[in-house]
Amino acid sequence: MELTLLFVDDEQYILKALRRSFRSMRRTWRMEFAASARQALEILLKNKIDVVISEIRLPDMDGQRFLEAVKKVRPGSVRIVMSGYADKDLLVKSIDLAHQLIAKPCDDDQLKAAIQRAIMIKDMLERYGLKDIVVRMDRLPSLPTLYTEIKAALRKDSTNVEDIADLVARDVGVTAKILKLVNSSFFGLRQHVTSLAKAIGMLGMDTIQAMALSACTVDQLCARASGLRAEQVWDHGFVTANFARAIARREKMEPEVTDDTFMAGLMHDIGQMVVAVNLPEKWQDACRLAKKQGLKMHLAEEQVLGADHAVIGAYLLGLWGLPEAVVRAVCNHHHPDQSSPGELTPALIIAVADAFAHDLEGRLDSKETLEQIDQALVKSLDMTRRLAKWQKECRRLLDDS
């Protein structure tokens, strides 16, 4: 698939460097270069551009106005904004208009990874017919600043637990949510934890980072629509994430994969809230259809919208630049067989953890729960034997809590 990229920067030497750095990509990327907003808009009007990578400070137009114009001319394009560290406020302000923010100076690999993610996003848009849906959604939540700050802090060797605790503590709501969950005994901590630093020390910075991301996103979505049962979404994500992590550990998956699986568990149903906030009428239609025909929600969404919450949520996480493994797990959590047949993937683990989380009262083994898991998968992965172990593991978590 050929991708057309437009690089915008008023510094000629930067454009030159970009041209040089990405010369090897010429076979798969068609690249355009513009030295001003005006020139960029002219190119956009004449060409189908998939990805715009632009400096936020442009001499002939305010950066936000430029991004708005790009969105208007090419609503389906992916917008990546680059800027210097000194422009942090500017970057934060443009977060609603940009899909990914990159701080300058950034190396070629970082930029390449951002562009590759953009390709994945574009692929999702086309494969699942998401384009029409996304164009109608103009209130997509932005990547929470707190998450970006934690991520930046974790990149520094000097960062310690206290630094992360100080960052999180600035958001009272998120702090309260994290402490409530930490003490919910799902984590199996024997003592009551009242200090964030202590919680982080016990659970690890990656877990706190994922929880901060999820808490901020849920808060953001709830602020935009009343009547959303945020606590329910958050609790369900949390239980699913913990079951998923227990299963991943039981299967001795790599720590990094286990972390990704945990994060995917927390965020797996975020697409439901995104739809409810952005397309409330469609959401109501899907709920009615599900009730009337006794359909699962994701099937009703597919009928009403043409795509389900799994794909929509994954699209958002892809835009935010979350790890590809997380995006794929969320995308396939209702169709784990579509990710990598015959393989034990985070998507499959989330599917099972999700089914368990819906069956807390049935103690994770009601017939219906087990039926939700694709039977071909059950056979191919020797799942019957595995499921019994996973159930035991997750039931133990439930008993502890």
- Shortest spacing between CB 334 and Fe ion, in angstroms: 6
For Fe ion, the closer of residues 61 and 299 by Cβ is 299
Binder among 87, 301, 302, 354 for Fe ion (CB under 5 A): 354
The secondary structure of residue 58, as a DSSP letter, is: B
Amino acid at 52: V
- Shortest spacing between CB 383 and Fe ion, in angstroms: 19
- Shortest spacing between CB 318 and Fe ion, in angstroms: 17
Instruction: Please choose, from the candidates 346, 364, 347, 368, the residue with its C-alpha nearest in 3D space to the C-alpha of residue 356.
Output: 364
Q: Is the dihedral of CA 185, 190, 192, 195 positive or negative?
A: negative
- The mark string for 235-274 relative to Fe ion (x by CB under 5 A, - otherwise) is ----------------------------------x-----
For Fe ion, the closer of residues 87 and 269 by Cβ is 269
Task: Write the CA distances from 133 to 43, 223, 298, integer angstroms.
Answer: 26, 22, 15
Instruction: Please choose, from the candidates 145, 140, 148, the residue with its C-alpha nearest in 3D space to the C-alpha of residue 315.
Output: 140
The secondary structure of residue 190, as a DSSP letter, is: S
Cα distance between residue 124 and residue 126, in whole Å: 5
For Fe ion, the closer of residues 171 and 269 by Cβ is 269
- Shortest spacing between CB 244 and Fe ion, in angstroms: 11
For Fe ion, the closer of residues 37 and 300 by Cβ is 300
Find the binding residues for Fe ion in span 95-154 (CB under 5 A): none
Amino acid at 82: M
Token output for 16: 């030159």
For Fe ion, the closer of residues 118 and 233 by Cβ is 233
For Fe ion, the closer of residues 171 and 374 by Cβ is 374
- Number of chain positions touching Fe ion (CB under 5 A): 2
For Fe ion, the closer of residues 269 and 302 by Cβ is 269
For Fe ion, the closer of residues 7 and 243 by Cβ is 243
Please provide residue 33's backbone torsions phi and psi, each rounded to the nearest 5 degrees. Answer: -130, 135
Please name the residues in contact with 353: beta carbons below 8 A apart, sequence gap of 6 or more: 240, 241, 243, 244, 247, 265, 394
- Shortest spacing between CB 345 and Fe ion, in angstroms: 16
- Shortest spacing between CB 319 and Fe ion, in angstroms: 19
List residues bridging with 100 in a β-sheet.
Answer: 80
Token output for 345: 């993937």
Instruction: Please choose, from the candidates 296, 301, 303, the residue with its C-alpha nearest in 3D space to the C-alpha of residue 278.
Output: 301
Burial class (CB in 10 A: 0-12, 13-18, 19+), 220: middle
- Shortest spacing between CB 380 and Fe ion, in angstroms: 22
- Strand, coil or helix: 102: strand
Helix locations, 309-382, DSSP H: 309-319, 324-331, 346-357, 367-371, 375-380
- Is position 308 an interface residue for Fe ion (rule: CB under 5 A)? no
- Shortest spacing between CB 79 and Fe ion, in angstroms: 28
Task: Write the CA distances from 146 to 142, 171, 200, 262, integer angstroms.
Answer: 11, 8, 15, 19
- Shortest spacing between CB 397 and Fe ion, in angstroms: 17
For Fe ion, the closer of residues 337 and 354 by Cβ is 354
List residues bridging with 329 in a β-sheet.
Answer: none
Task: With contacts defined by CB under 5 A, name the span among 68-76, 204-212, 275-283, 353-361 that binds Fe ion.
Answer: 353-361
Residues that bind Fe ion (CB under 5 A): 269, 354
